[in-house]
Chains A and B, each alone.
Chain A
Amino acid sequence: MHPAFSVIFLTTLIGAGQGLFLGLFGAEALSLLGVLPPPGSDFLALGSALALVFLVLGLIASFFHLGRPERAWRTATKWRTSWLSREVIVLPAFMGVVFLYGAAHAFGFNPPLGTLAGDVPVLLTVVLGAVGALLAIVLYVTTAMIYACIKFLQEWHSPLTVVNYTVLGAANGFTLAAAYAAWAGVPLVAFLATVAIVLTVLGLGTRSASLVRNSRIKSKSTLQTAIGVKHPKIQQKSQGFMGGSFNTREFFHHMSAAFLRGMKWIFLLGAFVVPAILLLVVLVTRIDPVNLLIAAFVIQYLGMVAERWFFFAQANHPQNIYYQSVA
């Protein structure tokens, strides 16, 4: 497939935004349980604003993918059958909850909505945060299922696609949360950086698993099934036209195999190895973590962009069988 930068930026930016929100709410929830020090309302409010910035930027990027963006509202109508429609519903819903969560913290509006057994108050921000966290996970799933549900794009049609979108986005988001906590001087860096390392290493494992899986894929469609001629030796002599067409532009990445291999190593290093090392350095040394963590996030984000580029480029669409020879 031809990697479209609009979709690459959409999925990586909202992935980081979702992960950041999961980090913020995770820290708040654990602080209420007494495991972590309280992060403070200002930290959570500004963090929610930062998450919203990423989500909005992702949403803006997505509009560049559309030929008719003015009709984008129509995309919410077919949620019964289309994962794209479901994503389009969940993304604004998640953004709305993040906004309310941040606003509640910013204005200190946090009344208990009820009590659990043992007189534990259920705070408004906890309810909003829990709903937001659930929507963040659902959004990872809906985004990934857009690709995973197309069965003849065999590289994508796997549960690993959903796992990778979730784990990679969350890893990048937790790295961002750790950098933000370090910048804000909130004593949550160790917790957030630890989770970020765990997710990054986990992501390296699950993404490598999908690389191994994809390297062994045997295409179900062949030239024989494509034109229905059962002869072992068939050669295309003409694709019917000599100029380009939508078929030759949309479904080919037009890069060399060496470029593809290079991109694979770039994203393995950039998205996993380098950020994991930087996060580890922050955890075990006493170096000022702010710049290191910001560097870790930026490198990991660029690694995610490379990963997403590779994700699209590696998918081999069966229609390409029909476009092997110009004339």
Chain B
Amino acid sequence: MTQLALVIDLNVCVGCHACVTSCKEWNTSGDAGPLVDQNPYDADPTGTFFNRVQSFEVGEYPNTETVHFPKSCLHCEEPPCVPVCPTGASYKRESDGIVLVDYDKCIGCKYCSWACPYGVREVDAERKVMTKCTLCVDRIYNEELPEWDRKPACVRACPTNARLYGDIHDPESVVSKAIREAGGYQLMPEWGTKPANHYLPRRKTQLTIREDEVERADNPLKIDSQLPKPGQDEPSLDDVTSW
């Protein structure tokens, strides 16, 4: 079975919101209808978005780091939003695991949004139906796009390649490898929703240098000590100094 998903690398995300705007642009222009905004240029702008980037500060000053956290539908393998839907408008596709809303069946009762612990479903204030990330189902199977372009709009937009896309049930896919090898994890595992989307943790790149690695132990000139020996923070030059 296929389960398409995103893997988001928090170590790489710089919080530029390119995925947010790219998502909005693609999904507001599609056949499924616009993601409507209210007062977009006024004091109190609001509107429908499938994807957001949030920022968190971890730690206490001065030992802090900023985590930029993109948040969209996780396409859970046990989606709690699906069985609660009274009309069957909210469903999970057998073929590829994408959780979708049938906008023609939705009555806008908002119950599925209550049943999602992640808050990734939004009622479109003008279309009056529940909307959510479709994993760009109208891109990934779109034969009018060249093969390399058949990826979600957010993935295509990410300038740092923080968003990986693929089948997490295929052990050789790029996302499965990333989850396996870079410690991919799920959000709120306590609810048993088994989100398909995974996140890769922040990683510290550290290099341990020992004392004897700072000086070139086998430098013959050093052994002879025939030339002047400058301090460690002064420049050194072969044939001129003793380093």
Binding site for B on A (CB under 8 A): 1, 65-69, 71-72, 74-78, 81-85, 88, 146, 149-153, 220-221, 223, 225-229, 231, 233-241, 243-247, 250-251, 317-320, 322-323
How near does chain B come to A320, taking the closest CB pair, in angstroms? 8
Do B129 and A67 have beta carbons less than 8 Å apart?
yes
User: Which of B47, B56, B86, B114 sits near A77, CB closer than 8 Å?
Assistant: B86
Q: Are B123 and A246 touching (Cβ within 8 A)? A: yes
Minimum distance in angstroms from B212 CB to a CB of chain A = 35
CB distance from A3 to the nearest CB of B (A): 12
Asked if B59 and A66 sit within 8 Å, CB to CB, the answer is no
Given A66-B108, A225-B189, A319-B117: A233 in contact with B60 (beta carbons within 8 A): yes
Set of chain B residues within 8 Å of A152, measured between Cβ atoms: 80, 117, 191
**CB-defined contacts of B53 to chain A, threshold 8 Å:** 240
Given contacts A68-B129, A243-B46, contact A82 B54 (CB under 8 A): no
Q: Which of B66-74, B147-155, B228-236 contacts A (4 or more CB under 8 A)?
A: B66-74
Q: List residues of chain A with CB within 8 A of the CB of B57.
A: 234-237
CB distance from A59 to the nearest CB of B (A): 14
Per the bound structure, the CA–CA distance linking A153 and B117 in Å amounts to 8
B113 contacts A74, C-beta separation under 8 Å: no
A227-B69, A236-B55, A237-B66 in contact; A149/B107 too (CB < 8 A)?
no
A319–B119 CB distance below 8 A: yes
A323 touches B123 (CB 8 A): no
* Contact call B113/A250, Cβ cutoff below 8 A: yes
B238 contacts A by Cβ under 8 Å: no
Interface string of B169-210 (1 = CB under 8 A from A): 000000000000000011111110000000101100000000
CA of A81 to CA of B67 in the docked complex: distance in angstroms?
38
Q: Do the beta carbons of A244 and B44 come within 8 Å of each other?
A: yes
Please determine whether B123 and A67 come into contact, CB atoms closer than 8 angstroms: yes
Q: List 29 A-B contacts (CB under 8 A).
A: A1-B114, A66-B109, A68-B106, A68-B128, A68-B129, A71-B106, A74-B86, A78-B85, A82-B83, A82-B86, A84-B86, A84-B109, A220-B190, A221-B190, A227-B56, A228-B201, A229-B56, A229-B58, A238-B54, A239-B52, A240-B71, A241-B52, A243-B47, A245-B49, A246-B113, A247-B122, A318-B118, A322-B54, A322-B119
Q: Given the complex of chains A and B, what is the CA–CA distance between A240 and B114 in angstroms? A: 21
Q: Measured between alpha carbons, how far is A223 from B20 in the docked complex, in Å?
A: 22
A4 to chain B, nearest CB (A): 8
Do A246 and B117 touch across chains, with their CB atoms under 8 A apart? no
Can you name the residue of chain B whose Cβ is closest to the Cβ of A240? B52
Nearest residue (CB) in B for A65 is: B109
A246–B129 contact, CB under 8 A? no
Contact residues in B for A244 (Cβ distance below 8 Å):
44, 46
Nearest chain A CB to B23's CB is how many angstroms away?
Answer: 12
Residues in B with CB closer than 8 Å to A239 are 52, 54
B198 to chain A, nearest CB (A): 9
| Alpha-carbon separation in the docked complex, A233 to B44 (Å) | 32
**Contact call A243/B45, Cβ cutoff below 8 A:** yes
**Whole-angstrom CA separation of A74 from B115 in the bound complex:** 19
In whole angstroms, what is the CA distance A114 to B34 when docked? 62
Q: Which 7 A-B residue pairs are closest in the complex by CB-CB distance?
A: A67-B108, A319-B119, A67-B128, A240-B52, A81-B83, A85-B86, A74-B87
